[in-house]
Structure 1
Amino acid sequence: MPRFSVIVPAYEVQAYLSECLDSVLSQSYSDLELIAVDDCSPDACGTIIDEYAARDTRVKAVHLPENRGLGRARNAGMAEATGDYLVFLDSDDTLTPDALRSVADRLKETGDPDVLVFDYTRTYWDGREVRNQLAAQLTERGPAPFRLADRPGLLRVLMVAWNKAYRREFVRAHGFRFPPGYYEDTPWTFPVLLTAGSVATLDRVCVHYRQRRQGSILGTTSRRHFDLFEQYDRVFAYVGERPELARWRPELFRRMIDHYAVVFTHRGRLPRGSHGEFLRRARAHCRRHRVPGVRLGLRHTLVRFGLHRTFRALRLAAAARRRALKCAVKLARALRTGALRLHYRVQLRLPLRADRAVFTAQEGRGDPAALEEAFRTHAPHLRTAWITPAGQERAAPPGPRRLRPGTAAYWSALARSRYLVSDSGFGGRLRKRTGQVVVQTQQGTPLGHVGLDLLERPAAAHGTDFARLLRDVDQWDYVLSGNRHATLTWERVHPGRYTTLEYGLPRNDVLQRATTADVARLRASLGVPQDAVAVLYAPAHRDHRRTQRPLLDLERILRRLGPRFVVLARTPAPARGDRVIDVSGHPDLSALCLASDALLTDYAPVLFDYAGLDRPIVVHTEDWAAYEAARGAYFDLRAFPPGAVARSEDELIDIFATGHWRGSRSAQLRAAFRERFCPWDDGRAAERVVRRVVLGETELPPVVPLADRDPAPPARTRSPLATVPQPSGPLPVTESH
């Protein structure tokens, strides 16, 4: 008997059905049966289902002789189910990776409740993803399982069948079935939750709820939306037959009126001319199921009393008010913008402040933050400020004064500060003055194409304004570089009259200065177990992918490697798992590097920084061809890697399982990579920049040779295999510019 019976009814969804079925069959938890029900679909759904059934014995194909609708198709699937739990999935939606494993684990933790409610994300055709706004109702804190009376807020979560797992014996014992109609989920979900003797929640997105551009049932204009009244009759009939559920009538009444209001106000659902009839029907139902003493808002009151003309008049008035408010806001913004521009022009005519410096970074802290600290240390007469956009306060370093973009103080600082330091720019309206010094730190060593090289890479350019880019370049006085490769690249792709300071990258100074105590403190702050091998996973942005999802199944990798390993996941989408620590929002990448024992990456610039730590690096190059085609690369990372190279997930697991990730060959590769890309990263790069740019010194601190550097070791004791020898034997040589 399988643990799960996943029931997928299909009707006119041939374009989405394969993706749906694949999302089930590729789950890491394989103890399941997939019951795919062809609801007499006129397209190729039946053929697709049969093809899957022929390939995988877990698939049961059910073909209905006539179209019965979504509810009855689910009933047909339930009749074939043998699993402990029922999971419903609409055929244009998908399960997220590892969803069933998470559900199974939570069911085991909570003692196999009657119903488990999990979360979902709305996914749009343009790539946007929006998580359920009521996700807080699914918190796993507190006792579990529980009765609905202990967490009544669950009734506010979307009342659909596919965001829950149901114990099959519980469903069979109470005879729950789906009725026909458009809104068949309503008389299923309410009775199920009200009757369940035990309920649990899983605070994890398990379903991607596709928001189709066209063609969804609820987005279709039709009189079939009047079906909603009959479905709520069924709900109240069920409650009326069970006196013990009478206490839920007020909440059901509120949910009913709210549902009516949603359908009535949703543009495109009700046919033209039917709104008055809909409200009259709503009024009759409210009288039929009325619960005295229920407090309602204005919108709900209008629905309850069927005041169609009043409702329409108020909606028109509200729309007029919104338009007036929008115009007023636009006018206020225009006046404010004009005033700030005038303020900036006035500030540009006032004397420069030689003791002021302004810093900003596009993401996190990086080189500008390291330079800001060095300014305060080696040029203490300077007063520093950090530009902090709204919502990025956590990423700002603690020392400097904070400036909010677009304020008068912000424009005053840009107009009158002598030093302007950035890794990206200050916006198109910056007017550099005589005497101002602009320092462009860049964003690490480039592997993928940047600057003018993106003219031939439209997928990676993302609408880059190259004319504006060159105007910015004309304002630069200094550009920082960490190695000769970066110097030659910057000067070619950003042609200008600036001076390149090949002094090393300031953000890597902390990697050389950190102590063993610092490493232990950082690991403890991140929750890394004391004896664990912590692998930092930091993949690059994929220009050729609309959605940025990790290519690796981290939970599968960790299961194969055993309990000794944990992953610090710095991924675009938050990663989950027992031994996966989500650090996607951490503002300081250097701290994550120090806290880890090894780096797992692909084409991200962090691999050049991490090499300076002299710790193992594993490069995952499974989609190198796609990356190189979309972005372009300055050299083949597979031919000149900083360590072991994995071309697939299984190969990656083998590299870690066999110890090759820290073996002698990997150490040789890393030594050659360090020699080429980390010649200046000795812990004093920021000091050299300040002494040259601010203090005007020409005799700068000498660079510590690679052989004499002693970066902080990882927390775990190194084995002899992890010691980096000098390169010997033939090593891959690359490249060129």
Structure 2
Amino acid sequence: MPELSVIVHGPNTQDHLTGLLDSLAAHPLPDIEVIVAAVGDWARETAERHTPDLQVLPLPDGTCDAEARAAGAARATGRWLHFVHAKDGLPAGAPRTVAERAAELPDTVDVLLLDHVRSTWRACGLPSPDGPLLARAGRADLTLDDCVPLLRLTPLLGTRAIRAGFWRAHEQHLHTDDEAFAAYAVLLLADRVACLPHPAYEDRRLRPASLPPVTPEQRYALVDRYERLLDLTRDRPAAQAVLYDVMVRDCLRTFARGGMPEEVAREFFRRASLAALRRRPETYRRPAGLEGIRRSLLEEGAYGRYRAFQAANRTRRAARSAVRTRKRQVGAKLRDHQYRRALNRPVDPHLAVFAAYWNRGVACNPAAIAAKLAELAPQIHPVWVVTADNAALLPPGTDHVVPGTRRYWEVLATAKYLVNNVNFPNEVVKRPDAVHLQTHHGTPLKRMGLDQMRFPAAAQGLDFQALLERVDKWDYSVSANSHTTRMWERAYPSRFVSLDHGYPRNDVYYTAGADHVRAVRDRLGIAPGRRAVLYAPTHRDYEAGWTPRLDLAALADRLGEDTVLLVRGHYFYDSAVSPLTGLRRTGRIVDVSSYDPVEDLCLAADALVTDYSSIMFDYANLDRPLVVYADDWETYRTTRGVYFDLMAEPPGAVARTQEELAEIFTTDAWRDEGAAKARAAFRRRFCEYDDGRAAERVVRRVFLGQDEEQLPPVLPIEERTPAPTPQEATA
């Protein structure tokens, strides 16, 4: 019996079925069977091109979704069923991920909830809002009453893997063309559910203009759907309250955005009003503010007053928007005037402006360069660009400016040197006698710059013409290795000079001594002799927020009392509530997401676990064990794009599941001979120019104007001595 039956069903709408089946046939797996309930001749012909890798079940044109699902389920032999509509997709590696998670679950679990990505006719791979909710539910199986917020998940049947026995026992309730009803119903009928907070489905929204018009009956069916679902919540007050709230929100949103004819809108409002009154739980309390007013008018059936309320809101929003626009225009004129005046002043040869990570503070390569500049060229005065929120965190005495202020524009206009690890704003003018130094902030595994154009999830919101205009201002681009040099020249085609000097932020990996290592571990509370494992995952463009891809509490239990997990979330998620909040504080899991600098964390760690983060290239300088946790490599590679196959050229051991990761660290696999050989090859390739003197070379070349021949030569890798390991530091 296969673990999972993937049931693809429906017609080959706009030929999306072809790509879906191509992806499934490209990676057949022994524990997964694929059944195509092909509706119509085109779908059948498309599916038959992929036999014998999948089974084809031809169905007549016009067969509804419910009948197609039923036919596929009847043919399936898997323990779990995953229904995939022919118009939708599956991220690379998703069937394997679902099958592995399902294999862990007992027969008491009926539904496995999955995260998803969204695609439209404009873009693909956009994150869903469901990831954080799934992550908060955790990995343990639970009843819906234990976690009723799961009813707020996007109602897609494709984001529910369903135990085959459960499906067959309840098929009469789930036999419907209303996919959203079926998606909610499997949750309400399930005894226990489990979660997989990683994208394993692609919801593809077709262009509305290509679809038949929505009929009045289809509008009214939305209200009927929730009334039927609420019938399933009798004697379950918590689920009833959440589902009622979902119903009211959905009805109001549909009414506001539906574009219905007047008579249809009036009747829809009437039906929604009756349902809101009839189904309102006794303990229900309307929210405050405008949303509360909307709900009150709905319950009253006050159609005319609701329309007037909508019109008043539109007028108020338009007025506020006009005021904001006017303020922006006035501010822009003032800023432009101040900046233009400052541009008429001479360039100050002793002024340098530094910024890092979108003005987060003193960090990364710019910080290392500024420190070396103070030593070798103290006559040059550094000014840091820092947001108002981060200014309080600066080291004492740091001269800084806040973006948008008068002095901010003055220093940008008059500084001889502008140093950043990202780009300065588009408005910054490149003066002929100013020097722009781009330091970057990592070695590229993922596609960057113009290479992102083929990957919509990564490219969303990017203006590539504006990017090139910013790149054209660079005079110098810092590189840590020849791979990076080549990729920057490809991703950012311009006339800048590549400085193959190493990353200044990595100097500390060769200059830090035992005292430094001991001091950092003391600050983190890591006792001598305990193994510290740093877990530092990267950002994913297809996730709405940071979802730890490991059950950290379970991993800490497995690794034992002598191991401390240092967990660092990506800086993109600074403003979000940390998913680490609430983990038990045993001293074995430490959230270091806000700890700076990250180089100190690397010095304190006995080993690094990461996925696709550029921290692996930096950490390799220490010649300490590196483990790659790549549970979604296929998805990441397909969605984000990569420059090389990390699975074929890893820096050490590779784990694809949490069990494999735990096995690596409970044996010697994390530091055995095979891991050491892989790390050595990785270091030779990616630590090419890092030897502890990168910042000196950059300062001498850019700020002191020395020729390449005058710079300290790069020390061969076999002659370098990294900072002592924690074990060596306590010896």
How far apart are 1:335 and its partner, in Å? 0.8
Q: Is the 8 A contact 1:597 1:716 kept in 2?
A: no
Residue 325 (str. 1) matches residue 320 (str. 2): yes
Match of 1:710 among 710, 720, 725: 720
From 394, 411, 414, the equivalent of 1:413 is: 411
2:66 equivalent to 1:71? yes
Q: CA 1:228 to 1:516, structure 2 compared with 1: closer, same or farther past 3 Å?
A: same
Report SS of the residue matched to 1:177: helix
Task: Say whether 1:438 aligns with 2:435.
Answer: yes
Shift of 1:402: 4.9
2:330 to 332, 335, 339: 335
| Corresponding position: 1:301 with 2:296 | yes
1:24-63 equivalence runs, <5 A: 24=24, 30-38=30-38, 40-41=39-40, 44-52=42-50, 54-56=51-53, 59-63=54-58
Q: Distance in 2 between matches of 1:650 and 1:704?
A: 28
In structure 2, which of residues 262, 268, 278 is the aligned counterpart of residue 278 of structure 1?
268
Residue aligned with 2:246, SS: helix
Match status 1:17 vs 2:11: no
What is aligned with 1:6? Answer: 6
Unaligned residue ranges in structure 2 (runs of 5+): 287-291, 544-548, 551-558, 560-564, 574-590, 627-640, 655-668
Distance in 2, Cα, partners of 1:18 & 1:258: 36
Contact 2:145 2:238 in 1 (8 A): no
Matched letter for residue 51 of structure 1:
R
Structure 2 CA distance for aligned equivalents of residues 6 and 587 of structure 1: 45
Matched, 1:344 2:339: yes
| Secondary structure, aligned partner of 1:711 | coil
SS of 1:197's equivalent in the other structure is coil
Shift of 1:198: 1.9
User: Secondary structure of 1:117's match?
Assistant: strand
Q: Distance in 1 between matches of 2:425 and 2:357?
A: 11
Letter in 2 for 1:20: L
RMSD: 6.2
Q: CA deviation at 1:332?
A: 0.3
Q: How many Å separate the matches in 1 of 2:326 and 2:438?
A: 38
1:89 matched to 2:84 = yes
TM-score normalized with structure 2 length: 0.67
Structure 1, 145-154 or 684-693: larger mean CA deviation: 684-693
Q: Distance in 1 between matches of 2:52 and 2:304?
A: 58
* Aligned amino acid, residue 407 of structure 1: T
| Counterpart position of 2:306 | 311
Task: Tell me the SS of whatever aligns to 1:294.
Answer: coil
Task: Indicate if the aligned counterparts of 1:356 and 1:417 stay in contact, CA closer than 8 A.
Answer: yes
Letter in 1 for 2:187: L
User: For residues 54-87 of structure 1, what are the alpha-carbon distances to aligned partners after superposition, in whole Å with 9 as ceiling and x for unaligned?
Assistant: 312xx44333346342223223333333332232
Q: Do the aligned partners of 1:682 and 1:703 also contact (CA within 8 Å) in 2?
A: no
**Counterparts of 1:599 and 1:143, CA distance in 2:** 20
1:157 matched to 2:153:
yes
Question: 5+ residue gaps in structure 1?
Answer: 449-453, 549-553, 556-562, 575-581, 618-629, 632-636, 638-645, 718-737
Deviation, 1:316, is 2.4
Please state whether the residue corresponding to 1:125 is helix, strand or coil: coil
Aligned pair 1:201/2:195, yes or no? yes
1:321-364 CA deviation, whole Å, 9 max, x = no partner? 22222221111001111222233345557798776531135789
Determine helix, strand or coil for the equivalent of 1:185. Answer: helix
Q: Which residue of 2 aligns with 1:641?
A: none
> Is 1:146 paired with 2:142?
yes
CA distance in 1, matches of 2:651, 2:400: 45
Alignment of 1:170-569 (within 5 A): 170-181=166-177, 183-186=178-181, 188-214=182-208, 220=214, 223-238=217-232, 244-245=235-236, 248-268=239-259, 270=260, 273-286=263-276, 288-289=278-279, 291=281, 294-296=284-286, 297-345=292-340, 347=342, 356-361=351-356, 367-379=365-377, 383-388=381-386, 400-417=398-415, 419-422=417-420, 426-427=424-425, 429-430=427-428, 438=435, 440-441=437-438, 443=440, 463-464=464-465, 472=473, 506-515=504-513
Query: Percent of aligned pairs with the same residue?
Result: 29
Whole-Å Cα distance in 2 between the matches of residues 612 and 221 of structure 1?
63
Q: Which amino acid aligns with 2:132?
A: A
Q: Verify the 8 A CA contact 1:596 1:714 in the aligned structure 2.
A: no
Shift in CA distance, 572/416, structure 1 to aligned 2, threshold 3 Å: closer
Residue 90 of structure 1 and its aligned partner are, at CA, apart by 1.9
State the 1:366 CA deviation.
5.0
1:421–1:441 Cα contact (<8 Å) kept: yes
Distance 1:697 1:229, change over 3 A: closer
Amino acid at match of 2:126: V
Q: Does the 8 Å CA contact 2:240/2:281 hold for their aligned counterparts?
A: yes
Q: How many pairs align?
A: 645
The one-letter code of the counterpart of 1:209 is D
State how far apart, in whole Å, the 2-side matches of 1:222 and 1:302 are: 22
Aligned-residue offset at 1:10: 0.9
Residue pair 1:222, 1:271 contacting (<8 A) in 2 also: no
Q: Alignment partner of 2:173: what SS?
A: coil
Contact 2:31 2:99 in 1 (8 A): no
* Greater Rg over alpha carbons, structure: 1
In 2: Cα distance, 1:703 partner to 1:469 partner: 31
Where does residue 554 of structure 2 map in the other structure? none
Deviations along 1:386-420, one digit per CA (max 9) or x if unpaired, are 33469999999999455443333421332455543
The one-character-per-residue Cα deviations of 1:668-705 (angstroms, maximum 9, x if unpaired) are x987999xx74xx6533433554677679999785475
Which structure has more relative contact order (CA 8 Å, sep 6+)? It is 2
1:687 equivalent in alignment to 2:696: yes
Distance 1:73-1:411 versus aligned 2 partners, 3 A rule = same
Per-residue deviation at 1:569?
13
Give the direction of change, closer, same or farther, for the CA distance of 1:101–1:318 in structure 2 (3 Å limit).
same
Per-residue CA deviations over 1:484-508 (Å, capped at 9, x if unaligned) read 9989x99xx8669x9x988766445
AA aligned opposite 2:42: A
SS of 1:264's equivalent in the other structure is helix
> Against the structure 1 CA distance between its residues 695 and 65, is the aligned structure 2 distance closer, same or farther, given a 3 Å change threshold?
closer
Q: Quick one: distance in 1 between partners of 2:678 and 2:135?
A: 47
SS at match of 1:63: strand
Q: Secondary structure at the match of 2:145?
A: helix
Whole-angstrom distance in 2 between the partners of 1:137 and 1:392: 29
Distance 1:585 1:95 in 2: 35
1:118-175, Cα deviation, whole Å (9 max, x unpaired): 2222223333543332433323556933222221211222233222222333333345
Q: Is the 8 A contact 2:625 2:679 kept in 1?
A: no
Give, as a single letter, the amino acid of the residue that structure 2 aligns with 1:120: H
Pairs within 5 Å for 1:618-629: none
Higher mean C-alpha displacement, 11-20 vs 99-108: 99-108
Shift of 1:291: 4.7
TM-score, length basis structure 1: 0.66
